Structure 1
């Protein structure tokens, strides 16, 4: 347990190091501490903080820098988010207004672009996951004797298509019969319910029209799985390399490929252990690199923020940058951005539902 004065000193060291990137000495702290104390008192408190593992010496300089433990204490106990200025708030609104959005993914992708542009870090955005998203339409378009395009429409207003190869001897009237069954039986069901029925009672229904229904059902299950999968959007990927140790080429290779794998992103964001539809944990959180991957992400931190679009689901935005990021400003920025993102998505959903009613 540290004293109030030691907490003030730790906070000042973190903030000065974030601002300057240089080790902080006792003399530099004299002018920034909220209360006047002697240089000797500051040195004694710094010695106590170093003994507690909250600050450390990194070279021959007499100054100190925050340790990972010190950052963690600062983030958990001393951080005070700073609200964005009216100018930045208007800029966020303006950047969301510039494009004409035709689907949800475009809005989510724009949020990652805005966040990356405003921070010069790497931004990640995930669209709202809703267990209530329903299948609202299904059709098949024949492209050739052995190729068809399956098209599905969801209650989110999104349209997805995928091309599949079919047996040459599969009669067109049998395919049309199955399409009618799908529209009669599955349209209006949630995507999770559709996926479940494709493995339970639906094969029997289809078998009455197709001699070998497995291939057709696998095709439909594949496209439903693709629609239901997480859709990540990353912007500012190259910004990571501004903070990497170029002497470690393995780190460089891993970071370069990190954002190309949905599995790696899912693990990085903790989505393999947590469900966005639960209310567990803080809505905005910070993880230090040693908490994420001590070997690869040692010099980085991840700020993660969940957002809600009511009954339409929940999503996530995140920012990956150096450990000495200006957390107070960034958390305030992300809080403002997620609020505007949720508003834009809600307006989009409301418009879609209004047009479909």
Structure 2
């Protein structure tokens, strides 16, 4: 348990180091009027904080820098929860959301770009394709008298397939007719709306044309389950090379490791999706990241929602020496705005 004096000193060291990227000494801290402690007192407290694992001394004669444990304590206990955004930040965000967009992809890419621009780190957005893809075609290929493969192709070019059982009461000519009815009525329909459109528009036609309505409905339900299979999300990156602007990544080995990870969209996707499972806001610092390439980085993420349904993630990748309060405030503001945009696009599709 840290004393109030130790908390004040740790907070000041983190804030100074984030601004300067230079180790912080006791003499420098003693010049902060708000601390009100002598250099000798600060030096003793810094030695205790180092012994507790919250500070590190990179060189024998240098000042101290926060350790990863120090950053964790800062984020959990000391960072301001109501950081006021800068006027230019607010203006850029206003301009972003004043621009009308009609596609999830466009909105996500713009947010990733603005987040990178405002933080000078790398903004990342994970959004599900299911909200922005439509049915291109559905095929049902018979394998035997009792089974067939359903092939679903969407507008993103993804193909999903699954073997279904053809009920006894559904002859093959009804199977082919059902496939034609689906394509005729549902091609161009957003994937998330297919089941509701079937119940709104197709069931009466099924009842009129199928010999055994109940068995045909069972087959139709199997087909609908294929259209509802989870689809691979999109990963949108802001300026990945922003990492090279940070002093920590002047080391070419560190820089290449992080940039290489950012290029592997599947690994980025897993890290973002894993973070999303742990609540609306998550801060993973250094070794808390499971990915080796991020051992010197912080990954902060927050969830995107349509209503109460989580549909994506927006986040920032940067050095552990990060402006945590401001980044968290930006993420909350941008995630709220992007969730609202997604909701409007979703509503527009639903009413279309």
Range class of TM-score, shorter chain: 0.7 to 0.9
Q: Structure 2 vs 1, CA of residues 67 and 137 (structure 1 numbering), >3 Å: closer, same or farther?
A: closer
Q: Relative to total residues, which structure has the larger helix share, 1 or 2?
A: 2
Q: After TM superposition, list the pairs within 5 Å mapping 1:51-66 onto structure 2.
A: 51-66=51-66
What is the aligned partner in structure 2 of residue 79 from structure 1?
A: 79
Q: Deviations over 1:76-130 (max 9, x none)?
A: 11011412134422321212333x5232222122111111111221111012688
What's the secondary structure of 1:329's corresponding residue? helix
C-alpha contact (below 8 Å) 1:288/1:300 kept by paired residues: yes
TM-score by structure 1 length?
Answer: 0.71
Inter-partner Cα distance in structure 2 for 1:163 and 1:67: 47
- 1:257 aligns with one of 252, 257, 260: 260
What's the secondary structure of 2:269's corresponding residue? helix
Inter-partner Cα distance in structure 1 for 2:45 and 2:4: 11
Inter-partner Cα distance in structure 2 for 1:126 and 1:135: 15
Q: Does 1:340 align with 2:337?
A: yes
What is the aligned partner in structure 1 of residue 237 from structure 2?
A: 234
Inter-partner Cα distance in structure 2 for 1:14 and 1:265: 28
Q: Structure 2 vs 1, CA of residues 87 and 259 (structure 1 numbering), >3 Å: closer, same or farther?
A: closer
C-alpha contact (below 8 Å) 1:123/1:319 kept by paired residues: yes
Q: After TM superposition, list the pairs within 5 Å mapping 1:86-165 onto structure 2.
A: 86-98=87-99, 100-127=100-127, 139=137, 152=154, 159-161=155-157
What is the aligned partner in structure 1 of residue 249 from structure 2?
A: 244
C-alpha contact (below 8 Å) 2:127/2:313 kept by paired residues: yes
Inter-partner Cα distance in structure 1 for 2:136 and 2:106: 23
Q: Deviations over 1:185-241 (max 9, x none)?
A: x93169xxxxxxxxxx99x959xxxxxxxxxx8xx95x865x722221111112233
What is the aligned partner in structure 1 of residue 348 from structure 2?
A: 351
Task: Give unmatched runs, 5+ long, in structure 2.
Answer: 140-150, 161-173, 187-192, 198-214
C-alpha contact (below 8 Å) 1:30/1:37 kept by paired residues: yes
- The CA deviation at 1:35 is 3.7
Inter-partner Cα distance in structure 2 for 1:274 and 1:20: 32
Inter-partner Cα distance in structure 2 for 1:32 and 1:9: 10
Inter-partner Cα distance in structure 1 for 2:244 and 2:302: 23
Inter-partner Cα distance in structure 1 for 2:158 and 2:69: 49
C-alpha contact (below 8 Å) 1:125/1:318 kept by paired residues: yes
Inter-partner Cα distance in structure 1 for 2:182 and 2:340: 37
Q: Structure 2 vs 1, CA of residues 33 and 296 (structure 1 numbering), >3 Å: closer, same or farther?
A: farther
Q: Does 1:288 align with 2:291?
A: no
What is the aligned partner in structure 2 of residue 297 from structure 1?
A: 294
Inter-partner Cα distance in structure 2 for 1:161 and 1:322: 37
Q: Does 1:323 align with 2:320?
A: yes
What's the secondary structure of 1:102's corresponding residue? coil
Inter-partner Cα distance in structure 2 for 1:162 and 1:69: 44
Q: Deviations over 1:156-210 (max 9, x none)?
A: xxx544589xxxxxxxx986752425769x93169xxxxxxxxxx99x959xxxx
Inter-partner Cα distance in structure 2 for 1:298 and 1:136: 39
Q: Deviations over 1:257-289 (max 9, x none)?
A: 3234343123322x24864xxxx53x2221112
What's the secondary structure of 1:113's corresponding residue? helix
C-alpha contact (below 8 Å) 1:135/1:188 kept by paired residues: no
Inter-partner Cα distance in structure 1 for 2:256 and 2:323: 27
- The CA deviation at 1:46 is 0.9
